[in-house]
Structure 1
Amino acid sequence: MPKFDMGAAWDDTMVLLRSHSALTGAIAAVFLFLPTLAVSWFGPMPIEPAEGATFDQIMAAFRANAEQAVPYQLLIALVSAVGGVGILRLWLARTGTSVGDAIVFALKMVPTMIAIQIIMGVAIGLVGVALLMPGIAAGASAIGVLLVGIGLLLFLGLCAYLWGRVSVTSPAVADQTLYNPLAALQESWRLTRDNGWRIFLFSFLVFIVIMIFSMVLALIAYAAVGNGEGIGRIVSGLIEAGVAVVSGLVMLALSAAVYRQLAVRGVGDTFS
């Protein structure tokens, strides 16, 4: 396989972000911005531990926040996946595609995208259990702590590698109309062969920049209006939704650029 070129991928990412901007912007507004904004404004407020709370009380508040956030985050993920596949369809189509056609296509691919996430989640969960179980079984001894640490490092490394290897699964689904989730994962695995770590590094660096940008905006908003009810929640919701659109579009364009670079095309089968 040819070596992945980060510079060329970034240039193509910028090209994709500029192409069909009005159409992709409309889809992003509906499927990325509005769901995030609705949950931020009308979803449950985070539970904050009382001042001077013990560690157990802090962890209890953390668990409660996670439990109440899961249904909303799953809904946002599902809606965002539909919008993401629709946007990828617009970018990767070699013939004219309307917004309506792209959305209809994305809706048809919902079962496939859900199946891909389930397969990946189960696989990562099983591997994580296998890597951490020896340390857990060893108990709280020094050997047990060491084994847990080693298992955790191996698990994080595996997740990073898998991030690179399955990074073009969604573009492959959108471009090749792959209804079979295993076929989509296999195609991503084939295209990213010998480039998994380079793709991960490229994606991770962009992700870190986005995270820093979003944290700076959140801190500025918190310092200005707080994060409580009223104006604070309105402003923080707008910022969160705006970051969701920007980060979502950038990461989608990045994955599409990686796919376009690595996909092996036959004569006359090229991207526009």
Structure 2
Amino acid sequence: MVKFDMGAAWDDTLQLLKSHTALVGTIAGVFLFLPALAFAWFGPVPIEPPAGADFDQVMATFRESFRQMVPGQLVVALATMIGSVAILRLWLSRTGVSVGEALTFGLMLFPTMLVAQILSGIGIGIGFILLIIPGLYLIGRLALVAPAIADRAIYNPIEAIRTSWDLTRNNGWAVFFFLFLVNLVIVIAALIIGGIVAVIFGSEPGIGRMLGGFVEAAFGAIGSLVSVAISAAAYRQLAVGGDGDVFR
């Protein structure tokens, strides 16, 4: 059984991010960045509770704001899903793949990816209900679902989940902390830069919202791309000693 090496995985993550730069950048721009930017610029503005609102009013405002946000966020999530599978296909393919071939592959495997993510989300959600710790552990164990689907063209979502579960055996916490630490740095950077933009330009409709939305979308795309690269690097490392045939 392979022991997950964070240092080696980070080196491979950087190598992946440097490979196929133009192709990956094109897909990331169209599917990860632009949908998020469009939502940030043209989507609904979060509703603020009235001054002096009681708890029930605050919760009602939150529910209404959430209801308005859901459709747009779903579109962004679905576009990100397609783009992520296409990018993973570029990185994990043993032969040359064009952008068109990668996107076609992403569209073909989209139903599998969607069902697998829903099932994974349900499992992780139940884990969080059970005192949070099991949910965090499941994030690590299910982190390789997407790269497994992209590399092996798995059409059965249950098989994709089982593949990730097998590959991350005895490495679930290591994979989780690797994902957590890298994404924590990105979130902190996004908060700092977003806060600076808000202080200088404000957050009201106009230039403030446009710049704030741009920063939010940019860091969201960067975070998604780095997370995809991390999952691909972890997959490449663990699949070598697992039941896969990666790069044989």
**Same fold, TM exceeding 0.5?**
yes
Alignment RMSD (CA, Å): 1.7
Q: Which residue of 1 aligns with 2:204?
A: 228
Q: Which residue of 2 aligns with 1:145?
A: none
1:159 aligns with 2:97: no
Q: Which residue of 2 aligns with 1:98?
A: 98
Which SS does the other structure have where 1:75 is aligned? helix
AA matched with 1:201: F
Q: Which residue of 2 aligns with 1:85?
A: 85
Q: Distance in 2 between matches of 1:209 and 1:171?
A: 23
AA matched with 1:79: A
**Displacement, 1:48?**
0.9
- The counterpart of 1:169, out of the listed 131, 145, 148, is 145
Structure 2 unmatched runs, 5+: none
- The counterpart of 2:187, out of the listed 211, 227, 230, is 211
**Displacement, 1:53?**
2.3
Q: Distance in 2 between matches of 1:155 and 1:262?
A: 28
**Displacement, 1:90?**
0.2
AA matched with 2:230: L
Q: Distance in 1 between matches of 2:18 and 2:204?
A: 36
Which whole-Å deviations, capped at 9, do the CAs of 1:157-216 have from their partners, x for residues lacking one?
111110000101100000000010000000000100000011111111111111111111
For the pair shown, the structure with the greater C-alpha radius of gyration is: 1
Q: Distance in 2 between matches of 1:20 and 1:127?
A: 37
> How many aligned positions are there?
246
1:186-205 matched pairs, under 5 angstroms: 186-205=162-181
**Displacement, 1:247?**
0.7
**Displacement, 1:83?**
0.2
Q: Distance in 2 between matches of 1:125 and 1:165?
A: 14
Q: Which residue of 1 aligns with 2:11?
A: 11
AA matched with 2:168: T
Structure 1 unmatched runs, 5+: 129-151
Q: Distance in 2 between matches of 1:178 and 1:17?
A: 24
TM-score under structure 2 length normalisation: 0.94
TM-score under structure 1 length normalisation: 0.86
Q: Distance in 1 between matches of 2:126 and 2:143?
A: 20
Question: Identity over the aligned pairs, expressed in percent?
Answer: 53
- Counterparts in 2 of 1:235 and 1:209: CA distance versus 1, 3 Å: same
Which SS does the other structure have where 1:263 is aligned? helix
**Displacement, 1:124?**
4.2
- Counterparts in 2 of 1:265 and 1:94: CA distance versus 1, 3 Å: farther
